[in-house]
Structure 1
Amino acid sequence: MTLNIRYLFNCGEGTQRLCTQHKVKITKLKNVFLTRIHWECMGGLPGMLLTLADVGLTNIKIHGGDNLTHALTATRNFLLRTSMSVTTREFPVEGSSFQDENMTIKQYHSGRKLSRRVQLKRKFRFQQNENTTKLYLITRRRYCLSCLIRLDMDQSMFEMQLLRLQYEDAVTETHALLESNESSNYLQKPDNLVNERRELYSRRLPKSKPNPISIAYICKGPDYKGKFNPKSAKALGLKPGPLYAQLADGQSVTAPDGTIVHPHQVLGPSRPGAITIIVDVPSVNYIQSLINSQEFGPYQSGDENFRPRVIIHMVGNGVLEDERYQSWMREFGDETEHLITGETCNAQRIMFNSAALSQLKLSKIDSNHFRVPFYSNRPQKSLSDISNLPAKAREAEPKLIYQTEPVAQLDTSQIVSDFGPNQALLTDDALWKEYLKTVEIKNEIQSTKLDLAQFPGNDVIVTTLGTGSALSSKYRNVSGTIITIPSCGSIILDAGEGTLG
């Protein structure tokens, strides 16, 4: 996050609702980076795109690995926002990077260990396609939206056409495809957009295969200019004023005597921008590929210019306990902060406190129909129980802020408080007592009523998993309903974002 732009890494289910609950602004979001094309990493992306379009965002870039475009176009039957331009950028080549005025982000692939048979099969398939056409090779380097190793040109163009129709003026970083006259004609804006959508949306997407690749992102801020030295400027014949400001801004100026003064003559040494690394290691099968990567060597060399300020680890079960991974973490030095996030090493906290508090109050009326969501304020495994971790390793927490510039520091002032029945109700103690008294009277009256007569279907259970809201909000969620019919099974009506969790 910078003053003028937001960067989002992964977008799991409930992300937009979490931002609403905790007042995290997303209107300045311009780029989304996905570590894996997997539901746990991008399950909240369709809903996020809908919300961003509705709040007036006109364009956004989504970066990820193979099948990113395929995953987005798969939502075409329910996700349509022609007011927003979406650019997808896939990373089929290691070492590629993204850069804007605030950040340079490099990406590196790691993957799980494959069997020898699978490795040979993939090697043969790549060799078959390696020398196909010049257009194929250029497209591969320019991050075609589909992996052309597996898909032919017509299939790739079909996916791009769908994405353009799904989001008005959606583009991809695949200039080579546009060099072909045939391809350019294919991408011409149709006279009848509605009919084209209807025709293309009815077509089945080309087959794709899951890609187990995980992407690590190395983010570097801009270099900071050296401090301006007024004594040096004065010695060169300059007087305080606009010339000082121009030099401080990196511009050469002319002194009164005609001498040209360059910035390096009056500025101290520049300082490299802060480095942040984000790694996603979903299982121990990814560890060997990660530690074998030479791309992390400079950041583990001990050179202060390359030392990461903070590394965010998204780990699966057993990864932190693995000696190989522990050794890899320690190689970054004692001063690097490590923020750990994972299913077992993070507490299963209540994230939507407002809705949970409302549910808690309603549970006093009927605890069967209004159940308090499951939560645990303690992790299954504490980091203190895992030996050989770096000294500055700690659990990532909701709204924990790590400030990289101008001074590196952790800000814990905004961490979300743990949810608990007693803590949640302390603020209106008198009102709460009155509420409980009213509930008690209601329950006494209810207990005196006769049971309803038996009737066909009275054992059918209807459970609302959402509230039927058009948009997820602080108190309400989108539609999701499960109907349980004894001896027959269950039926799910709608399965909006957050239905499972």
Structure 2
Amino acid sequence: MEDIFLTRMSWTNVGGLGGMTLTLQSIGVPEVRVYGPPNAEDFYQALKDFTYFPKIKVRVKPYHLSPMSDDVMTVWQVPIRAPDTSSHGGGLSPRAGSRSPDHDLSPKAGSSRSPSQSPVVRRSSCDVSDIDSESDDSSRSSSPRNSPKSKRRKTSQRDESLVISYICKLKPKKGRFLTEKALMDGIKPGVWVGELKKGNQATLPDGRVIDPTPYVEPDTPGPVFIVVECPGEDFIEPVTTNSQIAKYQEDGDEELPAIVVHFTPAGVAKDTRYQDWITRFGPNTEHLFLNEDTQTTSHEGTASLQACLNIIQPTVFPLLADNAIKPGSLPPLPHKHVRGECLLTYWLFHRDHPLQWDRSSIPLLDNEEAVKGAFALPGFEDSLKEMKETIATAFASDTAASPSYPEVVFFGTGSSIPSKRRNVTGILVQLSESESLLLDGGEGTFGQMYRHYGADVDRVLANIKCVFISHIHADHHLGLMKIFQERRRALQTLGEPQQPMYLIAPLPFMSWINHYRLNCENIGMDNKDFILLLSKDLSVFSNEEQNQEFNSLKKNLGFKQLQVVPVLHVCCSVCSSRLYQSSMSVVVSSVAPGCISPPCLLFCL
């Protein structure tokens, strides 16, 4: 994979870009080209606060450049704009009393603070020149304002009115060489055959000059496919009236597409204007819809393992929710309209092959079959019986009343790199029936939450009152943007007001989230959905308002005391000690390689 195409700067679209780039780097891809909105460059620059791309070159190619073309296909970028409804406010800062995320906190001359006490924000050691943005301005690279240093400090405003569609045309398939006819005419195998296959004249050893036309079938034109995103009703008119896409409809002068991929919400896709626009592609064009109706399911291997653990202790190991959309639960789509499914494949063959859907790789969960396989193992049934007796005896001898809360749910205990069976860090501490605390949230945390809770995930999201981020490493926070978005959606779905959520984080995270909010999209910050507290400020309070926010946090979560403690792992790493209003102690510890004192969380309940 060397080319990545973005339709817009939304976390739904770009949230996996950092992890994808790291993966490409780890497998030795030397360069990746990113096409789409110009702000992709700003996104990559912000990622460098906590990720490293020393071995891969990232080139951002904005939509106004010429088409991308290689040996496989040609891709045209089609910018589409809706009325601009985004707000362009100032930078996001923590609540009054905290310094701005970009404030210089290094020791000043005459300061009594020692260097070891100074919370200096360190930048990535990877040179920003590894990320290039190309434009039609040939003088850009030599302009002083575009030097690496100035590029890093450049601030542009987000543009939520822009989406990019893509028109893609495969290169023609070369015609087949008619070997039998050539042999009949005395053309024996040799280097001249290669020239004929290329469509060139060839001179045989006997001096004959052969024209390729009688011996090579005509080229087969490559099919066209189109990718369209229409994220809201404001975009329906600009999308359906776009003149460049209209060329590939029945009244246009270009070839009709084989398939159109729609990144379009179900409500927008049902709009009569959008449906009328779809019909203009003709009756033979396939339409694939990727939206909230897309069928999803758990990873087959993970679900099978969980099913086996469930028969040992169903309370500790509940069955994963099967979130696949059941047949008949959604209205049928018109002919040639297909809903996306996990691992559904569309084979885009050339015109001399049938275009077809392939559902052979779609995972199907069968818990009964998984358990049956476990019982087939030698000695499993006897071991299971012994284990259940041991558990029953342990519970029978425990006369102490076990409270329902706190409950600790591990969404991920891995480190650095997600795997199929062990996600990166994410821990939910349920303090009561209606309150919970999320400790870190690496990439994929919401997916883990959805697999665990299924249809109840909205209530779980709404109950999160505070998010605590231990440090800036990507495996501890790259999944939080999705959590923020889904929590806002969940509250709307449940008909509940948008209650502010406490966000406790180190200084570099505030800088990252502020940069994303300014250059990509609003994730709730503009609407006061968050009460932001810097980790370092929770031990020393400089004014009454900051102290008031902290006291409000303790009161809402039932803590008598909360203290953030720095640890030796990475700059601005912290653990926190919390004292609850009861007498039970719970310790949550996340072991990190190279950390002398692993970040930990102590609850005294």
TM-score w.r.t. length of structure 1: 0.70
Give the SS at the match of 1:219: strand
**Structure 1 residues 69, 428: CA separation in 2 closer, same or farther (over 3 Å shift)?**
same
Partner of 1:357: 304
1:255 deviates by 6.2
CA separation of 1:451 and 1:214: change in aligned 2, threshold 3 A:
farther
C-alpha distance in structure 2 between counterparts of 1:480 and 1:204, whole Å:
32
Aligned partner of 1:417 in structure 2 is 363
Deviation at 1:433, TM superposition (A): 5.0
Task: Letter of the 2:344 partner, please give it.
Answer: L
- Give the Å deviation of 1:168: 6.5
CA contact (8 A) 2:166 2:226 kept: yes
**What's 2:443 paired with?**
497
Secondary structure in structure 2 of the residue aligned to 1:342: coil
- When structure 1 is superposed on structure 2, of 172-181 and 391-400 the one drifting more is 172-181
Q: Distance between the aligned counterparts of 1:164 and 1:63, measured in 2?
A: 26
8 Å CA contact 1:107, 1:216 repeated in 2:
yes
Secondary structure of the 2:422 match is coil
The 5-angstrom pairing of residues 481-492 of structure 1 reads: 481-486=427-432, 490-492=436-438
Where do residues 227-266 of structure 1 align in structure 2 (5 Å cutoff)?
227-228=176-177, 239-242=187-190, 243-254=192-203, 261-264=210-213, 266=215
Contact 1:238 1:255 in 2 (8 A): no
Structure-2 residue corresponding to 1:206 = 155
1:86-485 equivalent positions in 2, closer than 5 A: 86-92=58-64, 96-114=66-84, 165=126, 169-174=130-135, 176=137, 178=139, 181-183=142-144, 186-187=147-148, 206-228=155-177, 239-242=187-190, 243-254=192-203, 261-264=210-213, 266-301=215-250, 306-344=255-293, 346-350=294-298, 352-378=299-325, 384-386=331-333, 389=334, 391-406=335-350, 407-412=353-358, 414-431=360-377, 436-452=384-400, 459-485=405-431
SS of corresponding position for 1:73: helix
Give, in whole Å, the separation in 1 of the partners of 2:383 and 2:262: 44
Which segment is superposed worse, 63-72 or 210-219? 210-219
Q: The residue matched to 1:319 in structure 2 has which SS?
A: helix
Asked if 1 retains the 8 angstrom alpha-carbon contact of 2:36 and 2:63, the reply is: yes
Shift of 1:435: 6.2
Q: 1:304 to 1:176 in 2, by over 3 A?
A: closer
SS of 1:483's partner is strand
- Return the TM-score normalized by structure 2: 0.59
- Rate the CA distance shift 1:81–1:284 in 2: closer, same or farther, 3 A: same
- Deviation larger for 284-293 or 243-252: 243-252
Fraction of identical pairs, as percent: 26
| Aligned residue identity for 1:403 | W
CA contact (8 A) 1:338 1:394 kept: yes
Shift of 1:113: 4.3
Alignment partners' CA distance in 2, 1:180 and 1:417:
48
Q: Identify if the C-alpha distance between structure 1 residues 241 and 332 changes in structure 2 by more than 3 Å, giving closer, same or farther.
A: same
Between stretches 58-67 and 377-386, larger displacement belongs to: 377-386
Report the equivalent of 1:65: 37
Specify the code of the residue in structure 1 equivalent to 2:324.
N
Give, as a single letter, the amino acid of the residue that structure 2 aligns with 1:425.
Answer: V
Give the superposition deviation at 1:413: 5.2
Q: Taking structure 1 as reference, are residues 230 and 52 closer, same or farther at Cα in structure 2, changes over 3 Å only?
A: closer
What secondary structure does 1:176 align onto? coil
> How far, CA to CA, are the matches of 2:227 and 2:25 in structure 1?
27
Q: Distance in 1 between matches of 2:346 and 2:424?
A: 32
DSSP 3-state at the match of 1:60: strand
Structure-1 separation of matches of 2:357 and 2:401: 60
SS in structure 2 at match of 1:448: helix
Structure 1, 54-63 or 440-449: larger mean CA deviation: 440-449
Question: What is the DSSP-based 3-state SS (H/G/I as helix, E as strand, rest coil) of the residue aligned with 1:470?
Answer: coil
Match for 1:447: what amino acid?
F
Distance 1:232 1:488 in 2: 79
Can you list the C-alpha shifts for 1:230-284, whole angstroms capped at 9, x where unaligned?
798799x873433343112122224679775544465443321121211222223
State whether residues 343 and 361 of structure 2, in contact with CA within 8 Å, keep that contact through their aligned partners in structure 1.
yes
Deviates more, 1:84-93 or 1:446-455: 446-455
Could you list the per-position Cα deviations for residues 89-139 of structure 1 after superposition, in whole angstroms to 9, with x for gaps in the alignment?
Answer: 12146xx42111111111212343457xx99x9xxxxxxxxxxxxxxxxxx
CA RMSD of superposed structures (Å)? 3.8
Aligned residues: 408
Offset, 1:381: 7.4
Cα distance change on mapping 1:323 and 1:433 into 2, 3 Å: farther
Alpha-carbon separation, structure 2, partners of 1:303 and 1:268: 29
- For structure 1, the 5+ residue unaligned runs are 1-28, 122-161, 188-195
Q: Secondary structure of the residue that 2:302 maps to in structure 1? A: helix
Q: Is the 8 A contact 1:216 1:279 kept in 2?
A: yes
Superposition deviation, residue 409 in structure 1: 2.8
Q: What is the alpha-carbon distance in structure 1 between the residues aligned to residue 434 and residue 297 of structure 2?
A: 35
**Deviation string, structure 1 residues 164-204 (Cα, Å, up to 9, x no partner):** 945674333247365664539935xxxxxxxx8xxx99x76
TM-fit CA distance, 1:423? 4.1
For 1:51 and 1:97, the matched residues in 2 are separated by: 26
Match of 1:10 in 2: none
Q: Cα deviation per residue 1:456-475 (whole Å; 9 max; x = unaligned)?
A: xx943332221233211111
Provide the rounded CA distance (Å) in 1 between the counterparts of 2:36 and 2:326: 30
Q: 2: CA distance between counterparts of 1:428 and 1:487?
A: 35
Q: Tell me, yes or no, if the aligned pair for 2:227 and 2:262 is still in contact at 8 Å.
A: yes
Using the alignment, how far apart are the partners of 2:222 and 2:69 within structure 1?
A: 13
Out of 68-77 and 364-373, give the one that drifted further: 364-373
Q: Do 1:377 and 1:418's aligned partners in 2 also have CA atoms closer than 8 Å?
A: no
What secondary structure is seen at the aligned counterpart in 1 of 2:229?
Answer: strand
Structure 2, unaligned runs of 5 or more: 89-122, 448-605
What is the CA–CA distance in structure 2 between the aligned matches of 1:330 and 1:85, rounded to whole Å?
A: 42
What is the rounded CA distance, in whole Å, between the counterparts of 1:441 and 1:285 in structure 2? 62
In 1, the alpha carbon distance for the partners of 2:139 and 2:83 equals: 36
Alignment partner, residue 151 of structure 1: none
Where 1:62 maps in the other structure, the secondary structure is strand
Other-structure match for 2:523: none
Residue 307 of structure 1 contacts residue 332 of structure 1 at CA under 8 Å; is this kept in 2?
yes
- Quickly say closer, same or farther: Cα 1:347–1:256, change in 2 above 3 A: closer
Superposition deviation, residue 384 in structure 1 = 4.8
- Contact map agreement 1:74 1:205 (CA 8 A) in 2: no
Residue identity opposite 1:317 in structure 2? A
Looking at structure 2, the residues matched to 438 and 100 of structure 1 have their Cα atoms a distance apart, in angstroms, of 63
Match of 1:157 in 2: none
SS at match of 2:41: helix
Deviates more, 1:491-500 or 1:252-261: 252-261
* Separation in structure 2 between the aligned mates of residue 491 and residue 277 of structure 1, nearest angstrom: 43
